[in-house]
A and B are shown apart, each in its own frame.
Chain A
Amino acid sequence: MVTSNNELAYNTKIEGDVIVTRADAVINWIRANSVWPMPMGLACCAIELMATASSRFDIARFGAEVFRFSPRQADCMIVAGTVTYKMAPHLRRIYDQMASPKWVIAMGACASSGGMYRSYATLQGVDRIVPVDVYISGCPPRPEALLDALIKLQAKMGRETSARTLLTA
């Protein structure tokens, strides 16, 4: 994670109202601390997803409380549940409708690998149709596991070369 400057490194009396940093650091800091999730609740994992968003576990502590049901306003799709082949194209279309930069969390065994549904109807891992950033094990994972995945995703965002991507886009 990017940490803010402290008194020893920055003093307005000496340096004026100027902060010197790297563009990557500040862009990633902004992005990582206001992740707007797209809740792709497809099965029982969505119940844990709701629990994570509510007061006891409070995903707002990590800046990701603004669940958006419109993909156009979301940054991170949380695939929570079993993805059937019938649902897979719709999931991909919703992913395509999200604005870049965008990330995907595969929540639980089903989204990660098809889980126990080794059958004709189930997509064996959502990574076959969308690029996944973080996988969560569990059936379903506890809310703490989802929070851990969000922290890991924030760490991953912190390592991105955002400025170069923006300038070369």
Chain B
Amino acid sequence: MSASVDPLAAIKELIPQATERASLDHPAINVPAEVVVEALRQLRDRAGYDFLVDLTAIDQGEGVADRFTVVYHLFSTAASAYVRVATDCRGGAAPVAPSVTALWPAADWHEREAFDMFGIRFEGHPDLRRILMWDGYPHHPLRKEFPLAGVETQLPDLEVAAETGTKVLPAPMVGGPFVASSGEMNLTEAEPRAKDESWNERHVKPE
């Protein structure tokens, strides 16, 4: 773990299946899904990357062969160094990835979030339930085909839904997306806003 050694070369020596991954900051590698758990174990036990900083996922969009990628960010508390490990999920639109909860208990909730948002099933996870959306929500909101405004579904509690007559409705996106405008204009005009709030999904814009 000396600073003079190129960390990427050291990692590739440790994990022969690893290939270099394009990265603007820290060393990054791609690892096949079959060996990712073993690769992370090697990084943890032999390279000193003892801390799982983050576990997240990427959706490349519909029609891409390896659509979902799971990304692990590891940190070495001894060397103050980061490494990024990415692995493509098997299974296409029903992606599957191995769970790393056995290596880091912290991965538990991260994997639940990736499952909730992307629908990636983590094999070997002790309790793979949704963590942000409610049980029974039929979609995975961070998938590319899912609109930011959302889609119409039932409220989690059917009794309350019947009482209030309310559903989960797409958020009004009139004039949106709600981002600040750029260019030469005064600050009041540049604020994120809907251009026309007199209509929304309840009072539909007259065509």
- By a beta-carbon cutoff of 8 Å, the part of chain A in contact with chain B is 85-86, 88-90, 92-93, 96, 114, 116-122, 124, 128-129
Determine the main DSSP class of B at the interface with A.
Answer: loop
CB-based contact B134/A120 at 8 Å: no
CB-based contact B164/A114 at 8 Å: no
A122 to B178, CA, bound (A): 15
Nearest residue in A to B146 (C-beta to C-beta)? A120
A118 to B194, CA, bound (A): 10
CB-based contact A93/B160 at 8 Å: yes
Partner of B150 from the list A92, A93, A120 (CB cut-off 8 Å) is A120
CB-based contact B160/A120 at 8 Å: no
User: Is residue B102 contacting chain A, with contact meaning CB distance below 8 A?
Assistant: no
- From 140 to 171 in chain B, residues with beta carbon under 8 angstroms from any chain A beta carbon are 141, 146-151, 155-157, 159-161, 163-164, 166, 168-171
CB-based contact A119/B148 at 8 Å: yes
User: Is residue B91 contacting chain A, with contact meaning CB distance below 8 A?
Assistant: no
- By a beta-carbon cutoff of 8 Å, the part of chain B in contact with chain A is 132-134, 139, 141, 146-151, 155-157, 159-161, 163-164, 166, 168-173, 176, 178, 192, 200
Chain A residues with Cβ below 8 Å from B157 are 89-90, 92-93
- When A and B form their complex, what is the total count of cross-chain residue pairs whose Cβ atoms lie within 8 Å? 66
Partner of B160 from the list A89, A116, A117 (CB cut-off 8 Å) is A89
A96 to B164, CA, bound (A): 11
CB-based contact B151/A89 at 8 Å: no
Contacts A85-B155, A116-B178; is A124 near B172 (CB within 8 Å)?
Answer: yes
A128 to B160, CA, bound (A): 11
Contacts A86-B133, A89-B157; is A119 near B171 (CB within 8 Å)?
Answer: yes
Partner of B178 from the list A89, A93, A118, A124 (CB cut-off 8 Å) is A118
CB-based contact A85/B156 at 8 Å: yes
